[in-house]
Amino acid sequence: MPSAIVTGATGILGREIVFALGKDPQKWQTVYALSRSQKEDYPSNVQHGRIDLQAGPQELAKQLQGIEAEYLFFTAYLQKDSEQENWDTNGAMLENFLEALSMTGAEKKLKRVILTTGAKQYGLHLGPAKNPMEESDPEVKGSGRPPNFYYRQQEALRTKSKGKGWDWVVTYPNVVIGVAKGNFMNFATALGIYATVTKELKEPFIFPGNPDLYTGFDCFTYSQLHAQFCLWAALEPKCANENFNVVNGDVQSWQTLWPKVATKFGVHIPAKQFSLKAGVENEVELIERPPIADQAAEMGIVDRIYRGKLIMKVDLTKWAQRPEVKKAWDTVVARHGLDKDAFDKATWLFLNFVLGKNSDVVINMTKARKLGWTGYYDTWDSLSESLDDLADEKILPKF
Ligand SMILES: NC(=O)c1ccc[n+]([C@@H]2O[C@H](COP(=O)([O-])OP(=O)(O)OC[C@H]3O[C@@H](n4cnc5c(N)ncnc54)[C@H](OP(=O)(O)O)[C@@H]3O)[C@@H](O)[C@H]2O)c1
């Protein structure tokens, strides 16, 4: 029976991997769940360990004494203020951890490292990218593009696995729908708080982004589906040394999802929502040369390329500062006995980015399907279930 190490065990993606492994003690003997904090109780085959991945390899090796496993699921992530700092910090966290496993001798037992990165692989935070996004698409580098720590992490796997007894798999989820406390990119929590406060204030439920995205296509990853994918890819021989998109696998749009969100919360979408004046609009230009520009010549669309923007009907960072918004949230918290910190920990900038981009995101699951992956989740079901889970956790009022 194999064992597993999961870093980032309390994160939105890592905790689901821990629970998926924890559900099957007949198959997974011991699961070492590692993070700086412990936020919940675990099944009997899961041992939580506190670790600070910002330590150097020697210190990490001390912290990792007695910990070894065939499979390493690396989902730790520490958000920094700039992409250069993300490169430095998150690149070093993975490299130092692998170095530490080598120092303790645990590397000899290792068979596969499953690294979680994301669809920023395609530079979609920098502007329009080619659709659908495929794993063979080129890395987005040069021409004023910021560093991308995913590239450093993947290069580390390629170089450090050479001549060793282990291989690797990398996943690219996009806009993760799930539950986590106090993390850096929490879509469902921020969206749920926006809807809850809008209802309390009896205001119209305006889509905070723009009509281009609303009437186009977007892609999402249910955290539980991502965990299932990681467990499948860990044990599937054909996945060795391969990168994979991991999204729900349905075709989705905001024009479909937003009315469903409105119905769940009992709020009203105005018939001409994009013509209304919200008072907290904002526009931010993204970098000059969008990712798609790199493939534009071969696709014959050099004259059709446009610079990306975040166009927000409701800039959520400004909205969250409105005194009546905070007051309405405090009233809801008091009425329903909710977690009062949820508002301050909500990730408004992230939601601005998710809803404000003015280009489609379509991510292809063909590569994994060709190797036998059959997993699928309806995005609305995943969002509705996550909102219910957040209500159970007392982060949102009960539906
Ligand atoms: N969330 C999304 O929507 C999304 C979408 C696409 C891709 N991704 C990618 O998925 C990966 C995982 O992100 P996530 O959203 O799951 O992150 P997350 O929810 O913020 O969780 C981060 C995890 O890393 C741990 N961690 C942070 N700093 C640490 C340190 N110094 N030492 C030990 N553990 C540390 C945290 O635990 P402690 O704080 O307790 O240490 C937590 O368990 C990242 O590469 C991210 O870019 C995320």
Task: Provide the residue-wise pLDDT of the chain in tens; the chain has 399 residues.
Answer: 999 999 999 999 999 999 999 999 999 999 999 999 998 999 999 999 999 999 999 999 999 999 999 999 999 999 999 999 999 999 999 999 999 999 999 999 999 999 999 999 999 999 999 999 999 999 999 989 999 999 999 999 999 999 999 999 999 999 999 998 878 789 999 999 999 999 999 999 999 999 999 999 999 999 999 999 999 999 999 999 999 999 999 999 999 999 999 999 999 999 999 999 989 999 999 999 999 999 999 999 999 999 999 999 999 999 999 999 999 999 999 999 999 889 998 999 999 999 999 999 999 999 999 999 999 999 999 999 999 999 999 999 999
Tracing tokens 């996004």 back to the chain, one arrives at: 133
**78: CA distance to ligand 1 center in Å?**
6
Distance 300 CA to ligand 1 centre (A): 39
Q: Which amino acid is at 76?
A: A
Looking at residue 143, its pLDDT comes to 83
Angle at which helices 348-356 and 187-200 pack, to 10 degrees? Answer: 90
> What pLDDT does 307 receive?
97
Contacts 24+ apart (CB under 8 A), 84-90: 84/146, 84/147, 86/147, 86/149, 87/147, 87/148, 87/149, 87/152, 89/54, 89/149, 90/149, 90/152, 90/153
Q: Under CATH, which number does the domain 176-220+250-362+376-392 receive?
A: 3.40.50.720
Which fold would CATH assign to domain 4-174+222-246?
A: Rossmann fold (3.40.50)
Helix axes 379-392, 223-235, angle to 10 degrees: 110
CB-ligand 1 contact for 347 (6 Å cutoff): no
> Is 267 close to ligand 1, i.e. is its CB under 6 Å away?
no
- How far is Cα 309 from Cα 283, in angstroms, rounded to an integer? 7
Find out whether the beta carbon of 178 lies less than 6 Å from any atom of ligand 1.
Answer: no
Q: Which sequence spans correspond to the domains of the chain?
A: 4-174+222-246, 176-220+250-362+376-392
Indicate the top mutation candidate among 5, 72, 77 to test ligand 1's pocket, ranked by most ligand atoms within 8 A of CB: 77
| Bridge pairing between strands 46-50 and 31-35 | parallel
Question: How far is the C-alpha of 240 from the C-alpha of 348, rounded, in Å?
Answer: 37
- Same CATH topology for 4-174+222-246 and 176-220+250-362+376-392: the answer is yes
Establish whether residue 13 lines the binding site of ligand 1, counting it when its CB lies within 6 angstroms of any ligand atom: yes
Q: What is residue 181's predicted lDDT score, i.e. its pLDDT?
A: 81
* 5 CA → ligand 1 middle, Å: 15
How much is the pLDDT for 185?
82
Cα(77) to centroid of ligand 1, in Å? Answer: 3
Residue 284's H or E segment, with its range, is strand 282-285
Residue 318, burial from CB neighbour count under 10 angstroms (0-12, 13-18, 19+): middle
Q: Whose CA is nearest to atom 28 of ligand 1?
A: 78
| Cβ proximity of 195 and 355 under 8 Å | no
Does the beta carbon of 311 lie inside 6 Å of ligand 1? Answer: no
Q: What is the pLDDT of residue 182?
A: 75
Both tokens of residue 74?
Answer: 């690396």
Q: How far is CA 51 from the centre of its chain?
A: 22
Which atom belonging to ligand 1 lies closest to the Cα atom of 54? 31
* Contact (CB, 8 A) for 45 and 31: yes
In the reported structure, the alpha carbon of residue 73 is separated from the centroid of ligand 1 by a whole-number distance in angstroms of 12
From ligand 1's centre to the CA of 303, what distance in Å? 39
Q: What pLDDT is stored for residue 209 in this prediction?
A: 98
State whether the beta carbon of 227 lies less than 6 angstroms from ligand 1.
no
Show Cβ contacts of residue 45 under 8 Å, excluding neighbours closer than 6 positions.
Answer: 21, 22, 25, 28, 29, 30, 31
